[in-house]
Amino acid sequence: MLLLAAIRPAGAVEVSPSEILAAPDRFDGQAVTLQGLVINHRARVSRRGNAYYTFDLTDGRRPVRVFSFGDSPCKDGMTARVDGTFEKLKRQAQHAFHNEVTAARVTCR
């Protein structure tokens, strides 16, 4: 018999977007797994030609921003499961991003 386990980053905490945003200091730099509804989905290509996407993931109360490289498996209105790292403040070049999960894995249905 073959058993398959859910893949999530080692030590990841299963948490909702609302829980993260209620205590961002607690989750800053932590591996997290969260689920919710995809809204404000945007697929883009960087100036260097790298595909990436962002969306807000909401549990119906508060949304958290999700970022990942590559082509998105999601569209607005889909349910997503995200494994990644939460950062209260992420700086990239001249930009600052607040309360964002950098996704290692995104699945949508």
- Using the predicted structure, report yes or no on whether residue 21 has a pLDDT greater than 80: yes
Span 25-39, pLDDT tens digits: 999 999 999 999 999
Number of domains in the chain: 1
In a domain, 49, yes or no: yes
Note the pLDDT tens digit of each residue in 53-68: 999 999 999 999 999 9
Strand partners, 63: 58
- Look at residue 2 and tell me if it is in a domain: no
Q: Is the pLDDT of residue 1 over 50?
A: no
Whole-model pTM: value is 0.86
Q: Which domain holds residue 21?
A: 13-108
pLDDT at residue 8 greater than cutoff 60: no
Check: CB of residue 12 under 8 Å from CB of residue 6.
no
- Is residue 43 situated within a structural domain? yes
**Residue 62 token pair:** 């508060």
Of the pLDDT bands very low, low, confident and very high (cuts 50, 70, 90), residue 10 is low
Q: What is the CATH number of the domain that holds 71?
A: 2.40.50.140
Place of tokens 């398959």: 4
Mean pLDDT throughout 40-55? 96
- Give the type of residue at 37: L
Are 65 and 53 in contact, with CB atoms under 8 Å apart? no
Q: Has residue 79 been placed in a domain?
A: yes
- Could you list the beta-strand ranges (E) of 21-94: 31-45, 51-58, 63-69, 79-92
